[in-house]
């Protein structure tokens, strides 16, 4: 894999267009987690998702890493899938945390990735990493985007 500025831009465009698939996963995840935690979580629109993709990719140091993870997961396949379970899980978890940003959001995105991943399953024609990629994008962006009541104020900021 050769990551150039042009490749990073192409991956950004792919991630932006993947909103058709990722945004419903984000909103399903938010609804499910909201039910589990007894709270309402604001949904995310496709336009808001695209805007946030642009924010993530505007930081070159983050963009090159996100593009690398996306590129690998888009092409990662393992004969029989299950033997490659660890590699796509690790890559998906790291992609989600990289998108989410600093702690504690990075850790929350990793945990959310595993929750989201249990609800995404690639089709038979997709590579093994495809469902992990969608789960990671959903987990990372749903974590960094506003809508969670507990993120609205910071009682511990002094």
Structure confidence by residue, pLDDT tens digits, 45-101:
999 999 999 999 999 999 999 999 999 999 888 777 666 678 889 999 999 999 999
Contact between 114 and 138 (Cβ < 8 Å): no
Q: Is residue 131 assigned to a domain?
A: yes
- Cα–Cα distance for residue pair 52/115, rounded to 1 Å: 22
Is 10 a domain residue?
yes
Considering the domain boundaries, does residue 60 fall inside one?
yes
Rounded to an integer, the average pLDDT of 122-140 is: 81
Packing angle, helices 105-117 and 130-144, rounded to 10: 140
154 inside domain: no
Torsion sign over Cα 78, 27, 114, 89: positive
Name the burial class of residue 101, with classes exposed (0-12), middle (13-18) and buried (19+) by CB atoms within 10 angstroms of its CB.
middle
146 vs 116, higher pLDDT: 116
Residue at 102 is within a domain:
yes
Domain assignment of residue 155, yes or no: no
In a domain, residue 45? The reply is: yes
152 in a structural domain: no
Q: Global pTM?
A: 0.91
Number of domains in the chain: 1
Long-range contacts of 77-85 (CB under 8 A, 24+ apart): 77/127, 77/128, 77/129, 78/128, 81/128, 84/128
Structure tokens at 47: 């336009």
Domain hosting 50: range is 5-145
Strand (E) or helix (H) holding 82: none
């Amino acid at each position: 894999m050769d990551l150039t500025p042009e490749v990073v831009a192409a991956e950004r465009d792919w991630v932006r267009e993947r909103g058709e698939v990722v945004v419903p996963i984000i909103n399903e995840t938010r609804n499910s987690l909201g039910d589990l935690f007894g709270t309402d979580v604001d949904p995310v629109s496709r336009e808001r998702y695209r805007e946030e993709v642009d924010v993530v990719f505007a930081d070159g140091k983050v963009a090159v890493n996100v593009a690398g993870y996306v590129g690998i997961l888009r092409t990662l396949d393992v004969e029989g899938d299950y033997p490659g379970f660890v590699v796509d899980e690790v890559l998906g978890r790291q992609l989600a945390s990289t998108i989410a940003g600093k702690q504690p959001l990075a850790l929350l995105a990793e945990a959310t990735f595993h929750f989201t991943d249990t609800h995404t399953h690639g089709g038979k024609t997709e590579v093994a990493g495809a469902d992990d990629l969608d789960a990671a994008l959903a987990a990372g962006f749903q974590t960094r985007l506003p809508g969670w009541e507990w993120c609205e104020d910071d009682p511990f900021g002094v």
